Structure 1
Amino acid sequence: MKWSEGGAFMGIDTAFERLLEDFMRYVHIERQLSPNTGRSYDQTLRQYAAFCRDHQLRSIELASARRYLYALYDQELARATIAQKVSCLKQFGRFLTRDTDEPNPFDGLKAPKRQQGLPTFLVPTEYERFLDAFRSSDTLGNRNVALVELLYATGMRVSEVVQLDLRDLATDHSYVHVYGKGGKERIAPIGTFAKDALELYLPSRDPVAGHEQALFLSHSGRRLTTDAIRKIMKKGEQLVGKHVTPHALRHSFATDLLERGADLRAVQELLGHASLSTTGQYTHVTTERLRHVYQQAHPRA
């Protein structure tokens, strides 16, 4: 089997496999990184090992890693994707040399500069049209409306939503207990519209739930996955004419709060951002929207 981006990689070097297993234990147990990050690290390192095998390269070597990155550039992968892979290799090298005086073999790798773009978001009128795509009187319709409303009302990440259990929802449905990145927890208030949607969905959830405690369930009664939620989002894209992901609803949540005068630090807490600078990207969004309104409305713009 030849190396290719995104495939399944088998038969990598046995010694590298042992190092990878040790690293993944370190990632999950000591670093306590999220399952999604762990899966990404595992996929990247297996892909890199397969590339080295197919090109007869030494795997723990800077020159080999650079050739791997050149191959990714040739495939025209997104800069953010390549930057993530560089970070993974550097973390792996740091792990390999953490109890020695040896330098990190991957320290010389350079991540591409990320293109600065404004995050995708929906204005309130677009959100209403988007939500219309999910309205129906059946169980899945109630679930989808409740899911979309909760994402928009709380700004939760899709990875946080799929982890929610019934017990994380307050008895009066006014707030939800969220488990975020790095084991951080926060309380997210729930607005009236999302609360009403949840109260409509929950009775229809019970008949298919069995012993499953997840808040959002598939039609077969299992916990809804992140991939399933992204597929659900696609249903409303034609009504708004733009690509809408769960993260776009998170952006919409933050943008709408800031445009209505919310304090930046309060928005930081609601989003679960570790750094205020991360939240600060939304100030650029609101400034851009104000500039657009000005140019459309002012007679001398």
Structure 2
Amino acid sequence: MPKKRKDGRYQKKVTLSAGKQKIVYGKTIAELNQAALAVLEEDRQGLIVDDKTLVGEWAKIWLEKYKANLRPNTKAMYKNAYNTHIMGMIGDMPLREVRPVHVREVMAGVSEKSESLQHKVLLTMQQIFNTARQNGLMIKDPTEGIKITPHTKPDKAKYLTKDQTKKLLAACDDPKALAFVALCLYCGLRREEALGLQWGDIEPDSLTVNRAVAFIGNQPDPSQELKTKAAHRTIPVPAPLREILGKTPRRGLYVITETDGGAMTKIAFRRLWERVERRVDFPVHPHMLRHTYSTTLYHAGVDLRTAQYLLGHSSIQMTAEIYTHLERGDGLKAAGRIERYFLEEQPSKTS
């Protein structure tokens, strides 16, 4: 039975599913009953009743418990997305009070930023709130249905033409730069995989990707972890790459080294790559070389499953998207040939 308090409010006890009792209050009997129903509904849906955990408090737990085993660069990406773009907007809000409108406010704050950054911010919020829901701190994920703001921009070249590839290789006057470019072009290595390659990883006709050198600040990450398990692979070494590697000076364990023979620092690699960029008359970045290798596999008729292995993709869907894009391009190139065929097939007019 409801009990009236000295302050004029009503109160009553509600028994939760675990046997614990919760006291609810209301200015009127109707308000009291509504409060009781709300508590029972939270309990029914598995929520921790009366939880007051803040977004910022859970974000810290999420990062420590769910992201502890990530590579330092990946963990830093999540931390930067939260600290820079999320914390100031909703960090002090109780988790259970966050609604889609609050998530949209965060995304509006980065809407003018790159699509890549928007994806990182949204992904960070999705993971924070999804894990909070799994732990009974929220009923619904407020990021559901939220999307980034796409930017209208001209399509950038994703891979090099054959002519550009020849020019790039000819432009590399530094043996280290030439070895890096060749490893990415002829074996499809990611930047960190090429920088992590050691001479002991190379056989006469193949090389094995055993480690990756990413950066923490300016220094190489000592963990040398590969991006995924699929990144560990053995790749055939074509003749042009064998020739280039044969002329590359061996100054230490690594194929591409600092002047002292150690692993590259971030600044040293940036200088190396900026020199490469200055010597060609077209835009180029390291990942374009890997994309170029993907196109080589496609045009060489390498099947999808083998291409997935050689590229070190953890999902065949990633490889399929590349192949589908290239197939679409080939289809458009065929338009002229198709049109000529139909013109030739038309019956000639007689007077």
Give TM-score scaled by structure 1 length. Answer: 0.73
> What is the one-letter code of the residue matched to 1:174?
S
Say if 2:137 is the partner of 1:124. no
Tell me the distance in 2 between the aligned counterparts of 1:178 and 1:295.
Answer: 46
- Aligned pairs (5 A) from 1:1-301: 19-29=58-68, 32-52=69-89, 58=93, 60=95, 61-62=98-99, 63-73=101-111, 76-100=112-136, 102-103=138-139, 105-108=141-144, 110-112=146-148, 120-135=158-173, 141-167=174-200, 169-172=201-204, 174-179=206-211, 180-184=226-230, 185-203=232-250, 205-206=251-252, 213-219=253-259, 221-225=261-265, 229=269, 232-237=272-277, 241-283=281-323, 284-289=325-330, 291-292=332-333, 295=336
Q: Please identify, of 147-156 and 187-196, the stretch whose mean Cα deviation from structure 2 is larger.
A: 187-196
1:239 to 1:71, Cα distance in 2 relative to 1, 3 A: same
Q: Following TM superposition, by how much is the alpha carbon of 1:222 offset from its aligned partner in structure 2, in angstroms?
A: 4.0
CA RMSD of aligned residues (A): 3.5
Q: Following TM superposition, by how much is the alpha carbon of 1:145 offset from its aligned partner in structure 2, in angstroms?
A: 0.6
Tell me the distance in 2 between the aligned counterparts of 1:297 and 1:268.
Answer: 32
Q: Which deviations, in whole Å up to 9, do the C-alpha atoms of 1:266-285 show, x marking residues without a partner?
A: 11111112222221233322
Q: Following TM superposition, by how much is the alpha carbon of 1:194 offset from its aligned partner in structure 2, in angstroms?
A: 1.9
- State the match for 1:5 in structure 2: none
1:104 to 1:181, Cα distance in 2 relative to 1, 3 A: farther
Q: Which deviations, in whole Å up to 9, do the C-alpha atoms of 1:244-289 show, x marking residues without a partner?
A: 1111111100111211211122111111122222212333225415
Instruction: Among all aligned residue pairs of Structure 1 and Structure 2, give the percentage whose two residues are the same amino acid.
Output: 19
Q: Please identify, of 267-276 and 61-70, the stretch whose mean Cα deviation from structure 2 is larger.
A: 61-70
- State the match for 1:10 in structure 2: none
Q: Please identify, of 225-234 and 267-276, the stretch whose mean Cα deviation from structure 2 is larger.
A: 225-234
Unaligned runs of 5+ in 2: 1-53, 212-225, 344-351
Of structures 1 and 2, the one scoring higher in RCO (CA 8 A, sep 6+) is: 1
1:288 to 1:237, Cα distance in 2 relative to 1, 3 A: farther
Contact kept, 8 Å, 1:162 with 1:226, in 2: the verdict is no
Contact kept, 8 Å, 2:177 with 2:276, in 1: the verdict is no
SS in 1 for 2:233: strand
Higher helix residue share: 1
Larger radius of gyration: 2
> What is the one-letter code of the residue matched to 1:285?
L
Tell me the distance in 1 between the aligned counterparts of 2:55 and 2:261.
Answer: 39
SS in 2 for 1:175: strand
Unaligned runs of 5+ in 1: 1-14, 136-140, 207-212
1:164 to 1:111, Cα distance in 2 relative to 1, 3 A: farther
1:220 to 1:154, Cα distance in 2 relative to 1, 3 A: same
Residue correspondences, number: 268
Q: Following TM superposition, by how much is the alpha carbon of 1:120 offset from its aligned partner in structure 2, in angstroms?
A: 0.8
Tell me the distance in 2 between the aligned counterparts of 1:42 and 1:52.
Answer: 15
Q: Following TM superposition, by how much is the alpha carbon of 1:41 offset from its aligned partner in structure 2, in angstroms?
A: 0.5
Q: Following TM superposition, by how much is the alpha carbon of 1:115 offset from its aligned partner in structure 2, in angstroms?
A: 7.6
Contact kept, 8 Å, 1:131 with 1:236, in 2: the verdict is no
Tell me the distance in 1 between the aligned counterparts of 2:128 and 2:117.
Answer: 17
SS in 2 for 1:201: coil
Tell me the distance in 1 between the aligned counterparts of 2:270 and 2:337.
Answer: 34
Give TM-score scaled by structure 2 length. Answer: 0.64
> What is the one-letter code of the residue matched to 1:108?
E
Tell me the distance in 2 between the aligned counterparts of 1:45 and 1:299.
Answer: 56
Q: Following TM superposition, by how much is the alpha carbon of 1:87 offset from its aligned partner in structure 2, in angstroms?
A: 1.0
Q: Which deviations, in whole Å up to 9, do the C-alpha atoms of 1:138-163 show, x marking residues without a partner?
A: xxx11111111001111122233333
SS in 1 for 2:248: helix
Q: Following TM superposition, by how much is the alpha carbon of 1:86 offset from its aligned partner in structure 2, in angstroms?
A: 0.6
